[in-house]
Amino acid sequence: MVLTVNIGNTNLTIGGYEADGQKFCGCLHSDPLATADEYALLIRELLALYGCAPGQIEGAILGSVVPMLTSRVLEALRRLSPVRVLTVGPGLKSGLKLRLDNPAQLGAELLCGAVAALDEGRAPLVVIHADTAISVMAVNDRRELVGGVILPGPQLALRSLVQNTAQLPQIDLARRAPASVLGTSTEVCLERGMILGTACLLDGLAARFCAELGPQTVFYATGSLPACVRDACATPILYRESLVLDGLYRIWQRNRK
């Protein structure tokens, strides 16, 4: 089994892959205070939850956008199993050309998401990755990653808004997409503003991406973008929960020798 690990600002997602596909996909909270030993225990418990054991690991690959956690999770993986652990970054083959000013600054989750999306479909395409922030990256019809945008995620925007105002309540963004923009209470106005506002923002960006990449551009999403926001978008969006982990596995296959 190949273990794939993606460290985000909010979550640490872990997947197990074998030749016939994904064996499991789990999620832990990204804790900046946790030690390598604590991460090793948490990962071992997660493996056990899905009927797996450290002895089944034959290889591992790690992607991270949280440098302070990278070394601790790497050490945790080494304590669980003495296998080679690859780290996404310069030197690993991805099969994707990067047309960026500084390719080393590209987040691992964006590279992996684009690799998996290209493996599934065709270019041009756009990958929307939602964690604490929403990152939107484009791949042109020559299979080159050519850039994109970064903006606050709806949960972060909501938290900031509630913390910096006197009378706005915290709300749940796990509800259904509203049919009307006409909210009739403070809670409903805030809910519809966050859900419909984020959807309109993504639709506006999608129109601009299509203007540069072409009208046939396909949009993929992964991460914590709420289903209500995706449902409220006029733009067709293909949601893939394990897109980043799938991309990690594809990169491991390219570099396993």
97-243 has which CATH code? 3.30.420.40
> For residue 156, with 0-12 CB atoms within 10 Å meaning exposed, 13-18 middle and 19 or more buried, which class applies?
middle
Phi, psi of 194 (to 5 degrees): -70, -45
Q: In what order do the strands lie in the sheet with 59-64?
A: 21-29, 11-18, 2-7, 59-64, 85-87
Task: Write down the architecture of domain 2-87 according to CATH.
Answer: 2-Layer Sandwich (3.30)
Residue in the block written with tokens 């056990």? 48
User: Would you list the domain boundaries of the chain?
Assistant: 2-87, 97-243
2-87 and 97-243 have identical folds: yes
Q: pLDDT per residue over 50-109, tens digit each?
A: 999 999 999 999 999 999 999 999 999 999 999 999 999 888 899 899 999 998 889 899
Q: How far apart are CA 224 and CA 55, in angstroms?
A: 31
Asked if 154 contacts 169 with a C-beta cutoff of 8 angstroms, the reply is: no
pTM for the whole structure = 0.89
Q: Which segments in the chain show pLDDT lower than 50?
A: none
Collect all residues with Cβ–Cβ distance below 8 Å to 198 and sequence separation of at least 6: 154, 157, 229, 232
